[in-house]
Amino acid sequence: MLRSISLLMVLCLGTVALAGVNIETVTVGNPGNALDVHPANNHPAGFGAVDYTYNIGKYEVTAGKYTAFLNAVAQTDTYGLYNPDMSSSAAYGCQIQQSGSAGSYSYSVDANWANRPVNYVSWGDAARFANWLHNGQPDGNQDLTTTEDGAYYLNGATTNEALQAVRRQDDWKWAIASEAEWYKAAHHRNDGNTGNYWNFATGTDSIPSNLLVEPNDPGNNATFYYDGSFTIGLPYFFTEVGAHENSDSAYGTFDQNGNLWEWNEEVMFDFLRGARGGAANDSYGAMDASNHNSRSGRTPTTEEYLIGFRVVEVPEPAILSLVGLGLAGLVLRRKGK
């Protein structure tokens, strides 16, 4: 009996610790917050209302984490999760290298790029990464147990038409951020269930600078093109995630302005998937929530150097936490502690 209780306690409390890739998240609360209905945000209904608490990636998914994903499921790479442009410095790739031949591919990433955001990923690639997280980060071929089912039922979907039809399933654990989830984490002021939003994801209405100040970032900085210059030049172009260490959103996310555009789930005009946040070569208008240029989209098969993604997670239900803590106490009592 004691062994069974101990095992259940591990299952309740130890899932994240056992995972090979750790996605650091922050909690976005204030469920039932009102929309941001700013007239210039290119959508009459507004953005940002979410009626549940959720966790969102503190950072964009990095090249290092995506490399671990590829090594787990892309020895054959049935659905093209790797793009050769990732290793092309001329195309601003994130320097993930593929070695070997189909059936025995392996992947590595330059240490100087591992903590920078992954790029050259399609919406479908991001959905498969989310499914892999949902399924507990398994090793194996790209099938229904690894990448093809989970938050999204893909089952080989690779065309724009097929990927446009995909929707998040009700039992999701990890997913690509919806536009509302992304926008709330970036811009809401974290002041209850209000409709109060900052224009920028650095927690202000003031235009950020694009300075990379290390080690003491004064705040309100982002990686973008400003006043005739990039934040950093080649060969990197993109900063390491969280490099602007005091320039987080009200909920504690980093780089939702600048570095890379980020995929979201929104279906736009029946043929695009949404993207938000602006990139390293964009001006501040692409980051400003009050500017219609802050909302963009791509066909879901698009793989380009200026787009990446971040993921969201269902928070652990409070009842599960209480059960786990209760079991932990029971185990200690059984051991005579």
| φ, ψ for residue 175, nearest 5 deg | -155, 170
Check: CB of residue 255 under 8 Å from CB of residue 61: no
Check: CB of residue 123 under 8 Å from CB of residue 300: yes
Judge whether residue 204 has pLDDT over 90.
yes
User: What pairing do the DSSP bridges indicate for beta strands 261-268 and 307-308?
Assistant: parallel
Judge whether residue 7 has pLDDT over 80.
no
Assigned token pair, 210: 């694009």
For residue 181, count other CB atoms closer than 10 A to its CB: 22
pLDDT tens per residue, range 103-125: 999 999 999 999 999 999 999 99
The pLDDT, as a whole number, for residue 235 is 87
Residue 71: strand, helix, or coil: helix
More confident residue, 260 or 214: 260
- For the segment 245-273, the average pLDDT, to the nearest whole number, is 97
The pLDDT, as a whole number, for residue 317 is 67
The pLDDT, as a whole number, for residue 3 is 35
If you search the block for the tokens 């093209």, which residue do you land on? 80
On the 0-12 / 13-18 / 19+ scale of CB atoms within 10 A, 333 is exposed
Q: Residue 262's Cα: distance from chain center in Å? A: 8
Q: What is the total count of domains within the chain?
A: 1
Which of 254, 150, 278, 144 lies closest to 203, judged by CA?
254
The pLDDT, as a whole number, for residue 316 is 76
- For the segment 179-183, the average pLDDT, to the nearest whole number, is 97
Judge whether residue 233 has pLDDT over 50.
yes
Where does the pLDDT of residue 292 fall: very low under 50, low under 70, confident under 90, or very high at 90 and above? Answer: confident
CA dihedral of residues 277, 279, 281, 285 (deg, nearest 10): 0
The pLDDT, as a whole number, for residue 45 is 65
C-alpha dihedral sign at 260, 265, 266, 272: positive
| Distance in angstroms (rounded) separating the CA atoms of residues 211 and 229 | 10
| Distance in angstroms (rounded) separating the CA atoms of residues 105 and 48 | 41
Where does the pLDDT of residue 203 fall: very low under 50, low under 70, confident under 90, or very high at 90 and above? Answer: very high
Judge whether residue 307 has pLDDT over 80.
yes
The pLDDT, as a whole number, for residue 40 is 55
- For the segment 145-161, the average pLDDT, to the nearest whole number, is 98
Which of 185, 202, 180, 193 lies closest to 288, judged by CA?
202
Assigned token pair, 128: 């498969």
Strand partners, 56: 26, 312
Q: What angle do CA 143, 146, 149 make, to 5 degrees?
A: 75
Q: Could you tell me the residue range of the domain that residue 149 belongs to?
A: 1-337
The string of DSSP letters for 251-306 reads TS---SSBSSEEEEEEEETTTEEEEES--TTS-GGGT-TTSGGGEEEE-TT---TT
- For the segment 255-272, the average pLDDT, to the nearest whole number, is 96
| Distance in angstroms (rounded) separating the CA atoms of residues 180 and 48 | 4
Domain with residue 138: its CATH number is: 3.90.1580.10
Task: State the pTM of this model.
Answer: 0.88
Of how many residues is the chain composed? 337
